Amino acid sequence: MRPSLREVLITILLALLIFVAVQFTVESRVVEGISMEPNLHTGERVLVIKASYWFGEPQRGDVIIFDSPQDQSRTLIKRVIALPGEMVEIEDGTVYITDVNGDTFSLDEPYINEDPHYTYGPQAVPEDEYFVLGDNRNHSTDSHIWGTLPDENVIGRAWLIYWPLSDWQLISGYSN
């Protein structure tokens, strides 16, 4: 029995709707460089959930994909360290955050490759911007070099390493 023209059109329409929904909510990116080692490595492919921040904002510890503030043709991957309205300072290998309530705390960062060998700040993070760092602090071009990241540059949250298959894992965010 041959399918009717109506059934074929409905199937094509459903396939098109699914394709468009996936294109707007998920995309694949390739990790470039060593700035996120030991957690992400050059050549790994990650799934990015673009819909992650449709109804909320990035949180401290999220690994995000964004358009570089220095070169909009490049996308980067870094970890959110400080949120809008906070103050960030890096001293003696430790990141300190002063939150919007005036409370200061150091970040517990089990995900970094090594403590940073530089100092930074104190610097306020403007509204609608984020302070982001690579996990390989001493080998990362990030907010400690080019400043804060505008919210409109954020593409989405890195969610899953899917290639190579031997590296398959969910990408963890950390909160403090």
In the chain, the domains with their CATH numbers are 28-170 (2.10.109.10)
* Structure token digits, residue 176: 């403090």
Angstrom distance (rounded) from CA 99 to CA 70: 27
pLDDT at 176: 59
Q: Which amino acid is residue 16, in one-letter code? A: L
- Which residue, 121, 169, 137, 148, is CA-closest to 58? 148
Q: Which residues are catalytic?
A: 35, 78
Q: How does residue 41 score in pLDDT terms, banded at 50, 70 and 90?
A: very high
Q: How confident is the model at residue 20 (pLDDT cuts 50, 70, 90)?
A: confident
**pLDDT tens digits for range 130-166:** 999 999 999 999 999 999 999 999 999 999 999 998 9
Task: Please say if the pLDDT value at position 45 is more than 70.
Answer: yes
pLDDT (tens digit per residue) in 80-114: 999 999 999 999 999 999 999 999 999 999 999 89
Give the three-state DSSP class for 53.
helix
DSSP assignment of 6-36 equals: HHHHHHHHHHHHHHHHHHHHEEEEE--SSTT
